[in-house]
């Protein structure tokens, strides 16, 4: 497809086009995730830009090329009457609690426009999840996108975290996240693409974002960005070929998140209990054996 065909397909996309119709969905919600400073906000600006005529670039989402990130509020930006793209808060480490907050954003349990605060206890997370039931949202078809900068050095621990995130995205949405590699010309994106495909990515698209200082439209850059949106919509069309139940799917997402938070709480409680026992000289079996072994070695020496 050329640029005109891609743009027309996106602008005319309707959830009613399939044989089974919209099945209760009324919006495609393209959700962006990733680490701090990898270009999520710039990607939103680029998506808005390539869907318009001319070269009047506007910065809809505030973006900055740093490792600290700016997004604190879960902001939503309409691309068409049917498609909305969401700039979720980026992670720094993706530890258990941050990952739980990411899943709360993914599952639409945090309303757009609300500030996302990392929480580090079970009760606060549960309270927020229950508050989401005041106005439950089950009419958005969620498509996850993971944004990663090609100029970053890949770390094995990061890839392990992303693999877990990708697997849980499938469990929550039924869609394998599309991987968008930003800063295409500033790193070895082909090597990074191999790493993402190794951990299960099905679609990896490298792009160069448009910015305030570099926004002359080119064929390649525009096509790459349009292809990301096109791929997201193809995922929607594919999933809507089968019977869906938006209300039930939201319940399943909530059950997943409740269980995830509960497991975090159990782990935290076990660690607290272990530390408390150590204060009284009582150690878990494994640590006790290791301590006794060290004592035996020391006594021989």
Nearest to 15 by CA among 103, 104, 143: 143
Output DSSP code: residue 284.
Answer: -
Is the per-residue pLDDT at 258 higher than 70? yes
Residues in contact with 166: Cβ distance below 8 Å, sequence separation at least 6, in sequence order: 146, 176, 177, 199, 200, 201
Confidence (pLDDT) at 214: 93
- Domains, the chain, in order of start with CATH, read 3-259 (3.40.50.300)
Q: What is the chain's length?
A: 301
Higher-confidence residue of 95 and 27: namely 27
In angstroms, the CA 180 to CA 34 distance is 10
Mean pLDDT for the stretch of residues 96-125: 72
pLDDT digits (tens, 9 = 90+) for 155-212: 888 898 899 999 999 999 999 999 999 999 998 999 999 999 999 999 999 999 999 9
Predicted confidence (pLDDT) per residue in 57-80, tens digit: 999 887 655 444 445 678 899 999
Model confidence at 152, pLDDT cuts 50, 70, 90, reads confident
Contacts of 78 (CB under 8 A, 6+ apart): 84
Q: What is the pLDDT of residue 113?
A: 64
pTM for this one? 0.84
């Amino acid at each position: 497809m050329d640029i005109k065909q891609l743009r027309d397909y996106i602008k005319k996309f309707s959830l009613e086009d399939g044989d089974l119709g919209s099945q209760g969905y009324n919006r495609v919600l393209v959700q962006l995730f990733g680490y701090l400073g990898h270009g999520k906000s710039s990607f939103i600006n680029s998506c808005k830009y390539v869907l318009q005529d001319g070269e009047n670039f506007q910065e809809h989402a505030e973006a900055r090329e740093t490792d600290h990130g700016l997004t604190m509020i879960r902001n939503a930006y309409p691309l068409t009457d049917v498609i909305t793209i969401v700039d979720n808060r980026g992670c720094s480490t993706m530890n258990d609690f941050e990952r739980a907050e990411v899943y709360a954003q993914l599952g639409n349990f945090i309303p757009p426009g609300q500030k996302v605060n990392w929480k580090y206890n079970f009760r606060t997370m549960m309270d927020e999840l229950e508050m989401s039931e005041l106005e439950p949202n089950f009419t958005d078809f969620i498509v996850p996108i993971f944004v990663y900068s090609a100029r970053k050095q890949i770390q094995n621990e990061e890839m392990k975290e992303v693999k877990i995130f990708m697997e849980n995205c499938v469990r929550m949405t039924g869609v394998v996240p599309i991987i968008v590699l930003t800063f295409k010309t500033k790193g070895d994106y082909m090597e990074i693409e191999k790493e993402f495909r190794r951990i299960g990515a099905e679609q990896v698209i490298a792009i160069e974002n448009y910015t305030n200082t570099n926004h002359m439209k080119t064929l390649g850059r525009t096509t790459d960005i349009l292809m990301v949106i096109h791929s997201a919509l193809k995922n929607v069309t594919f999933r809507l070929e089968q019977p869906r139940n938006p209300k039930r799917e939201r319940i399943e997402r909530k059950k997943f998140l409740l269980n995830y938070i509960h497991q975090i709480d159990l782990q935290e409680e076990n660690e607290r209990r272990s530390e408390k026992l150590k204060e009284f000289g009582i150690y878990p079996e494994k640590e006790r054996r290791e301590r006794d072994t060290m004592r035996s070695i020391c006594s021989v020496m």
